[in-house]
Every structure is written in structure tokens, then in C-alpha cells.
Amino acid sequence: MVKGNLLIVDDHKNVLKALLHLLEQDFSSIHTATNPNLIPNLIRDFKIDVVLLDMNYSAGLNTGNEGIYWLEQILHIDPDIAVVLITAYGDVELAVKAVKKGATDFVLKPWDNEKLIATLKSAFKLRESRLEIKELRNKQVHLTRNIEERYDPLISSSSGMREILATIRKVAKTKTNVLILGENGTGKELVAHEIHKQSDCADEIFVSVDMGSLSETLFESEVFGHTKGAFTDAREDRSGRFEIANGGTLFLDEIGNLSLPLQAKLLAVLQNHQVFRLGSNTPIPIDIRLICATNKDLSNQVHLNLFREDLYYRINTIEIEIPPLRKRGEDILQLTDYFLRKYCKKYQKPLVKISTRSRDKLLNYNWPGNVRELQHIVEKVVIMSDSDILKPEDLIFSSTKPKLTGTGNPKTLKEIEKQAIKEALENNHGSILKAAEELGLTRQTVYNKLLKYGLENNFTTNTHKK
């Protein structure tokens, strides 16, 4: 027995009795009617899943138009109901018309019992599938809304960011590959999401992958998926990020961290528009919008043979470079105002205003951690402050160096970055993890910069300190 609720509509009582007797063991509930005008109320009152509908109700008429009319009315009430039409007049043209109008199937009188039962059970399975798809779509909408809430709006009035916003508007409606460049914390993922939000696949999923966090051994499993038994811990089939993002946008962050062998595997997927799950030889077609990001100079990486030239040109049809926060002028104050409103609301505190001296301090700071650092500082201020005025002493920066001016003997940006990392490590007793949190960077990034600037010997005993 299936769990479905069946409604049988036929103007012949003997037909109804015969069908009721035949089908009562196969459905959890069966309702009958000789008058089709009762259909709307019966559907609403008994949550009908399948309707077995006669096509003629008026004496002398065998056109099937009445059945077509009631088919349309049923599907208007509930588009997911499965409707099986039944008639004594076999007309192929009528059957085709009924199916085009939304009928699930067509049965002729006199019917074959086994075939009728099989047809109605198949109709119920179709009904279940439709409801399941509807539920999944509702969940997807809910998840999409939750994802949207994770992303702050792109706030800017600076000329450099206005150019980026104009570029986003131009490329969003295409499916061209985009490469986003910029320092850590500038908002590369935010720009990627804005492209997705303005694209034709905005209602589809946006999948973000931090390539720098994936080890060589996990890369294929996470990005391409795997089959059950492909490796020791593969207890079930699993979709990779490419499959999950199919129809939507896939954002590959820190793509410059990929090794050359993994770059080759990624290039093959992008060229062939298909993936192979680990442990499988079956190709899976993919259709995605690809956006990549990195804080590295990929053109230089290509020159040093650290990044494949063919992959480089594949991923950067359009290149967007986000300026660091220190070059965005008044954007600093606009972003501060936004984060103040956001965190005052989150922590249920009165709205904090910024004093003039605090504004000057914000504008004269170098922001090595960019927007991410600003966000963390503002959140900390809102949590710790008992005043409704943001005062200069409330702003505790990871580096107290002022912004460089055109006078004197200015340091290079590399020297400033080196000094900021050195001071952050000193402030946190050599803990890379805590220094990374203070700077608004990842632990791996701080470690890489330690090696880059030759600071590892100064913190040898703390390099792996958690």
C-alpha cells in the first residue's frame, strides 16, 4: 500500500464501486465523486495526491472537453497533483492534448487492472518527487538568504572602487572568468559575491573555496568529489565543490597557492567542462561561473614558472584589482559608520558616533589588514566601550605607524608590512596564530611572510605555537 490519498471522479456509480474495490488495498485513503463540481473542496479538505478523472460527464458528449476543463482547474488549485485521465473513447489526439495540459497519464475503459494500479502508483511517486523538489527549492531559497546575510554591501565612494563597481556591472551578466587581485582583507570574496548577485545565476548557489586551506591530499576529494571506497575514509559518495556549484558561481580564493600538479588538474576541468570524482571514470558535466582570487602577482609567478601560463590566461579573461584600504580615502569613514551600525545592532548597544579626532586617527592609520582589520577593530570597540562616542583612545591598532606622506624618507610598503608582522609577533609572544588574529590575516599567510622577510630565526621556538 502507498501512503497517498486518491480521488476518483466518474459520473457512473458502478464504475466508482468497481474502482474503489480494486484500489482500496493500494492507497491509504480513497475518495469518490460523481459530480466534478465537488473536486475543489475534496482536494482542499483531504489533501489529495492523485486524481483519477473521467473525461465526460454530460449525456451524449464524448469530446473530452469537460475532462480537460477539470484537469486545468485541478492543476490551478495544486500544480503538483498527479492527474490520470480515464475515458471510454480512445483518441490519440485527445490523449496528447491532455498530457500537454499537464495530465500525468491516460487510461482507456475497459481498463486492465494491473496496468491501472501500476499507472496510479507511478503517478503517486511522481507526486512525491514533485513535493520533494519543491521542498528542496524552498530550502535552497532559505540557504541562499542565509548566505546573502553573510556578506556586507560594497560600500565606497572612492574613484578606484567606483571603477570596480562599473566593471562588475559590465561583466556580471556574462559568464566570463574573472580574476580578482588584492591584498589580504581588501574584500575579494565580497567583490566575487557582488558579481554573482548581479548575474543571471543570482538565484543559484554561490560556493566559496579557500584553496590555501586544502592540502594536496584533500584537494581532489574536496573540489572534484569522490566515490565510496575511493580511499580509506570514503564511506559514501560525495559531491565536490564543482558539482555543488553547478548552475551557479564557484569562487576559488587564494588560487596562487596551488601546486603545479593541482593546477594541471584544475586546468583539465576548465577546458573539458567536466569533472571525474576520485575513484570514478564517469565524467560529470559542469556549467559554472568561475571567479578566482589571489594576493599574489600571478604574472610574476608565471615568469618564475610557479604558475601555469595556460591556466593563468584561462582564469583571467577579466582582471579586477582591489585597492588597499589606505588608498581609499573617505571610504574608511563610510565603512566605519557601517560597521558601527552593524555591531551596535548586533550587540544591542546605543549607536556610537565618531569624534573628529577619532576620524583623523582612522584616516592617518596605514591599515595593513585592510577592511578586515577595520571591521575587527570596530567590533571590538562596540563590545568594550561604555560610551556613545568613539574616542581616539578606543582605537587600538595592531600597528601605530601613521600613513606615509610625501615628505622625509618614507619606508616602502614591504618594510611597513615587515614591521607590522614583527610587532604583532612581539605583542603576542611569538604566537603566529594570535598575531594573525591581530592582523586580520590567516595563520598560513603570516607564516609565509615570516619566511619571506627572513624573520623565522627570531621566532624559531614559537613558529608552530598555537
pLDDT tens string 201-238: 888 889 999 988 888 778 889 999 999 888 888 888 88
Kindly state the average pLDDT of the residues 403-430.
Answer: 66
At 243 the pLDDT is: 93
- What's the CA gap between 357 and 280, in Å, rounded? 63
Min mean pLDDT across 105-114, 133-142, 163-172, 443-452 is at 133-142
Kindly state the average pLDDT of the residues 130-144.
Answer: 77
In order, the DSSP letters of 35-70 are -GGGHHHHHHHHT-SEEEEES--STT--S-HHHHHH
Q: Is 207 left (phi over 0), alpha (psi -120 to 50) or beta?
A: beta
pLDDT band at 1 (very low <50, low <70, confident <90, very high): low
pLDDT band at 386 (very low <50, low <70, confident <90, very high): confident
- With 70 as the cut, is the pLDDT of residue 421 above it? yes
pLDDT band at 417 (very low <50, low <70, confident <90, very high): confident
At 416 the pLDDT is: 75
Q: Tens digits of per-residue pLDDT, 17-30?
A: 999 999 988 898 99
At 402 the pLDDT is: 42
The mean pLDDT of the chain is: 86
Q: Is 407 left (phi over 0), alpha (psi -120 to 50) or beta?
A: beta
Residue with cell 566605519: 336
Domains of the chain by residue range = 2-131, 162-322, 324-403, 411-466
Read off the C-alpha cell for 338. Answer: 557601517
Taking a C-beta distance cutoff of 8 angstroms, is the pair 222, 264 a contact? no
pLDDT band at 422 (very low <50, low <70, confident <90, very high): confident
pLDDT band at 152 (very low <50, low <70, confident <90, very high): confident
pLDDT band at 260 (very low <50, low <70, confident <90, very high): very high
What is residue 398's DSSP assignment?
A: S
Domain 162-322 and domain 324-403 have a common topology:
no
Q: Write down the H helix ranges in 78-215.
A: 92-100, 113-150, 159-172, 188-197
- With 70 as the cut, is the pLDDT of residue 145 above it? no
Of the CATH numbers 3.90.550.40, 3.40.50.300, 1.10.220.150, 2.130.10.10, which one belongs to the domain with range 162-322? 3.40.50.300
Kindly state the average pLDDT of the residues 244-250.
Answer: 92
Who wins on pLDDT, 464 or 174? 174
User: How far is it between the farthest Cα atoms of the chain?
Assistant: 104
With b meaning 16 or more CB within 10 Å and e meaning fewer, what string describes 78-114?
A: beebbbbbbbeeebeebbebbeeebbbbbbbeebeee
Of the CATH numbers 1.10.150.120, 1.10.8.60, 3.40.20.10, 3.40.50.150, which one belongs to the domain with range 324-403? 1.10.8.60
At 463 the pLDDT is: 42
Kindly state the average pLDDT of the residues 371-390.
Answer: 90
Who wins on pLDDT, 139 or 352? 352
At 464 the pLDDT is: 41
Per CATH, which fold does 411-466 belong to?
A: Arc Repressor Mutant, subunit A (1.10.10)
Per CATH, which fold does 2-131 belong to?
A: Rossmann fold (3.40.50)
Kindly state the average pLDDT of the residues 171-176.
Answer: 94
End-to-end CA distance of the chain: 59
Q: Tens digits of per-residue pLDDT, 90-122?
A: 667 777 888 889 999 988 888 999 999 999 999
